[in-house]
Amino acid sequence: MNYQVHESAIVDDGAQIGDGSRVWHFVHICSKAVIGKRCSLGQNVFVGNEVIIGNDCKVQNNVSVYDNVTLEDGVFCGPSMVFTNVYNPRSLVERKSEYRDTHVKKGATLGANCTIVCGVTVGSFAFVGAGAVVNKDVPDYALMVGVPAKQIGWMSEFGEQLDLPVEGEAEATCSKTGAVYKLVGKQMLKVSC
């Protein structure tokens, strides 16, 4: 075992956890979950059976990653953010056959207390602000805030806001890394490192 698990955590038989990962207090990982290398699962995290978490992800305290959620490499899930997997839940109606897939792409940040409604894709290096409610797909590099979440700008891979309009033709440089990003219509492209 090349990962750390706190004695209060429950890791069901069959769960896969990658080397260098850390599982903190009161975490529960279900038997079919797949967790990559060098991940950190904070206090009171739940990971369902039909969940894939890539390498280098950070899932902060009090997050439940329910069935049908996939996190690619380098995803950050802020404290107490929420995933759902049923669009119209009812206690008296069984809807496990209606789970919707949620996909969070490489490097995305999901801020504290935000909600990701099931069935959406959050693009690579997108940034969802604290408390936002995402109910539709999010483009790569998009900065999303509000209820419901609306795009107000763009973020670099480093996590710095780029000085660009939401749509149009323009270029910007990340002030921290010097990487150049090009906006073409409603799509952001990284054009140099």
**Rg over CA atoms, the chain:** 17
Task: Specify the pLDDT at position 192.
Answer: 87
Rounded distance, CA 149 to CA 89, Å?
21
Task: Specify the pLDDT at position 73.
Answer: 98
Tell me the average pLDDT across 91-114. Answer: 97
Percentage of the chain beyond pLDDT 90 is 98
Is residue 193 one of the residues assigned to a domain? Answer: no
Task: Specify the pLDDT at position 186.
Answer: 94
Task: Specify the pLDDT at position 183.
Answer: 97
Is residue 153 one of the residues assigned to a domain? Answer: yes
Task: Specify the pLDDT at position 24.
Answer: 98
| Whole-Å CA distances, 72 to 24, 98, 103, 176 | 21, 23, 8, 24
Is residue 180 one of the residues assigned to a domain? Answer: no
Is residue 181 one of the residues assigned to a domain? Answer: no
Is residue 26 one of the residues assigned to a domain? Answer: yes
Is residue 179 one of the residues assigned to a domain? Answer: no
Phi, psi of 132 (to 5 degrees): -70, 155
Percentage of the chain beyond pLDDT 70 is 100
Determine the structural domain holding residue 37 and report its residue range. 4-157
| pLDDT tens digits along 40-79 | 999 999 999 999 999 999 999 999 999 999 999 999 999 9
Give the number of domains in the chain.
Answer: 1
Where b means 16+ CB within 10 Å and e means fewer, 33-54 reads: bbbbbbbbbbbbbbbbbbbbbb
Task: Specify the pLDDT at position 104.
Answer: 98
The yes-or-no verdict on residue 18 having pLDDT over 90 is yes
Is residue 133 one of the residues assigned to a domain? Answer: yes
Is residue 169 one of the residues assigned to a domain? Answer: no
Omega before 148 within 30 of 0, i.e. cis: yes
Q: Pairing relation of β-strands 180-185 and 168-173?
A: antiparallel
Tell me the average pLDDT across 167-188. Answer: 96
Residue 127 belongs to domain with CATH number = 2.160.10.10
The yes-or-no verdict on residue 132 having pLDDT over 90 is yes
